[in-house]
Amino acid sequence: MKNTKIAILDLYDGTPNQGMRCIQDIVKKFERRASATWFDVRQKNEVPNVEDFDIFIFSGGPGDPRDKFGTWDVKLYDLFDQIYLSNQDSYAPRKFAFFICHSFQMLVNHFGLATITERKSPMFGTTKVRLTEGGKTDRLLSDLPDPFYAADFRSYQAVQPDAQKLQGMGARILAIEKKRPKVELERAVMAVRLTPEMIGVQFHPEADAGGMLQHFRSKEMAVMILNEHGKDKLEKMVRDLSHPDKIERTHKTILPTFINDAIGALKEDAVAV
């Protein structure tokens, strides 16, 4: 069997972040079974050819996911379409794809699965995520508690899901935002499985507790969080990141399971040919 090839698509546009480090650290654990190539999508207009890779991991990133640039975004949306269409063709090789936060919002907006809106206030820190009935039996989420904890950093969100569009594409919602009794706002869509090979999440499952804890305890970040979000937010983040069954459990479960299952499925496909 040929070596599985993973494309890591960086949508951070040069913005300092922990996401790419976390993604690369997870992917490195599979280096004996797969090789990875990193693409700087927004700064260098780098978008891989669908034929050249088996697994695609799309990162988070800054900005409005509805913006149109006419360059890298056109190529990226075309890649979305090609991955989806390849998985609809029983004679074409399967393409596995995972979408995180910003890229998830772009995916949802592109396929019209829900409405993308700006949040009343930015989400910054850790949050509880509730599983739907579909999520409770989904391979990537079924080993997590309900609710589970996730790192969540977003100024935009997917709301008002289009049930007809979801049904027509065979997609299903796997998780939604926690219930907030004192907030009269619709709960955001937090995870969608578009096809058996394609899944997107609103949160950051790649986030590792140890690295993030060190990052947010740095003087510069601590001062920023205190000034912009307050002492309670900082203390909650530290507590959640320090708890082994919260962020770290999510980190060890979702993305590693996706990669492992994708490599296994591709191996089975190769044997069946």
pLDDT at 48: 98
Number of domains in the chain: 1
End-to-end distance of the chain based on CA atoms, in angstroms? 11
- Whether 180 has a pLDDT exceeding 80, the answer reads no
- Whether 208 has a pLDDT exceeding 60, the answer reads yes
Confidence band of 239 (pLDDT split at 50, 70, 90): confident
pLDDT at 227: 75
Residue 239 belongs to a domain: no
pLDDT at 187: 87
Confidence band of 1 (pLDDT split at 50, 70, 90): low
Contact predicate 97/56, CB 8 Å: yes
Residue 196 belongs to a domain: yes
* Tens-place pLDDT, residues 13-59: 998 888 999 999 999 999 999 999 999 999 999 999 999 999 999 99
pLDDT at 124: 79
Q: Which residue, 189, 209, 212, 211, is CA-closest to 201?
A: 189
pLDDT at 273: 61
Kindly list the distances between the CA atom of residue 99 and the CA atoms of 180, 194, 224, 234, 235, in Å, as whole numbers in the listed order.
Answer: 26, 11, 28, 27, 29
* Tens-place pLDDT, residues 99-156: 999 999 999 999 999 999 999 887 777 889 999 999 999 999 999 999 999 999 899 9
- Whether 90 has a pLDDT exceeding 70, the answer reads yes
Q: Which residue, 146, 198, 190, is CA-closest to 171?
A: 198
Q: Which residues are registered as beta bridge partners of 195?
A: 198
- CATH no. for residue 201? 3.40.50.880
CA distance 74 to 120: 29
Q: Determine which helix (DSSP H) or strand (DSSP E) holds 237, and give its type and residue range.
A: helix 231-242
Residue 217 belongs to a domain: no
- Whether 209 has a pLDDT exceeding 80, the answer reads yes
Confidence band of 181 (pLDDT split at 50, 70, 90): low
- Whether 215 has a pLDDT exceeding 80, the answer reads no
Contact predicate 141/254, CB 8 Å: yes
- Whether 271 has a pLDDT exceeding 90, the answer reads no
CA distance 166 to 71: 28
**Comparison of pLDDT for 258 and 232, the residue scoring more:** 258
- Tell me which residue range forms the domain holding 42: 4-118+129-145+156-207+251-272
pTM: 0.92
Structure-token pair, residue 66: 């509805």
Q: How many helices (H) and strands (E) does the chain have?
A: 10, 9
For residue 206, give the amino acid letter.
Answer: E
